[in-house]
Amino acid sequence: MTPEEKLCSRSWRMRNSAGILWSILSFGLLTGVGFLIRGAKSKDKLFIGLGVGFLIVGIGLFVSVGMFDAGTKEAPIRSTASTIWGWVWFTSFIGGIVTAVVTNKKWLLWRAHTPDTKWYAQAGATQQQTPVSPAQGYDPNAAAAAFAAPSPAATYTNSAPTQTGSIDVNAASAQELVGSLGVDADTANRIIATRQQMGSFSSFEQLVAKAQVPPHLLIPQRGKLTFGTDQNVPGTPPVQPTQQAPQASRRLDL
């Protein structure tokens, strides 16, 4: 909010005028405390002077209350000294309220042009933060990189040397799958066996579903996978289809 918007807001003015309650709720005994708080925040000599003055008056009235004769049960019930003390106390009480209300406008003007950031937030913002280094051997971007489009220059640590370039899943041998994709031998043999049964893979999703390959193993290498139609794979003889007995039911793959 701008200073003008704050001053035009009734709720903002009410919240920031709560300092008047020091005079009202304490019957003037803590009026000086309220002015000193405002003076300490705004560094204004007027509020500091009023705070010191009302504190001296309040402490003086509090100390002198036991020094006057309260009077007797017979007339006159109260003495002249106690009556004077009562009027001085009442005058200081009303004067504190009036002074707090009159000077409240000056306080609101200062408060409207002061940033709302708390002192402890400002201290934390100016404090130099020491960067914390990540744990040894841990890449903080590993999780995001697994689902992002792989970069051609990215390197991965495999059990076999990593090869660059694309690889045709429908034409590669088990050794080529291990070297290019970084999968283990069992996963590569399962891909070859599934490919021989199906004939070829048509998409990445079909490869993962039919060959039962954990997706996180192939997602980083997805950009280099191609699915050609060439089935003349060296050393991979075609499997003759076998007749299967008619099945009584069908299984639906979802």
**Is 57 inside any structural domain?**
yes
**Residue 91 has which token pair?**
């005058």
Same domain for 24 and 98? yes
Predicted pLDDT at 3 = 83
- Stretch 88-110: mean pLDDT, rounded? 90
CB 182 within 8 A of CB 221: yes
Same domain for 111 and 163? no
Same domain for 24 and 96? yes
Name the pTM for this structure. Answer: 0.42
State which of 131-145, 186-200, 234-248 shows the largest mean pLDDT: 186-200
- CA 251 to centroid of chain Cα atoms: 49
CB 16 within 8 A of CB 38: no
**Is 134 inside any structural domain?**
no
**225-226 and 167-168 beta bridge pairing:** parallel
Q: How many domains does the chain divide into?
A: 2
DSSP string, 217-242: HHGGGGGGEE-------TT-PPPPP-
Range of the domain at 10: 3-115
**Is 196 inside any structural domain?**
yes
The C-alpha atoms of residue 103 and residue 101 are separated, in whole angstroms, by 6
Q: Which of 13-22, 203-212, 221-230 has the lowest mean pLDDT?
A: 221-230
**Is 74 inside any structural domain?**
yes
Same domain for 173 and 108? no
Same domain for 107 and 191? no
172-198 pLDDT, tens digit per residue, is 888 888 888 888 888 889 888 998 988
* 241 has pLDDT over 50: no
pLDDT band at 119; cut points 50, 70, 90: low
Sequence-distant (≥ 6) Cβ neighbours of residue 42 within 8 angstroms? 107, 110, 111
Same domain for 72 and 172? no
* 235 has pLDDT over 60: no
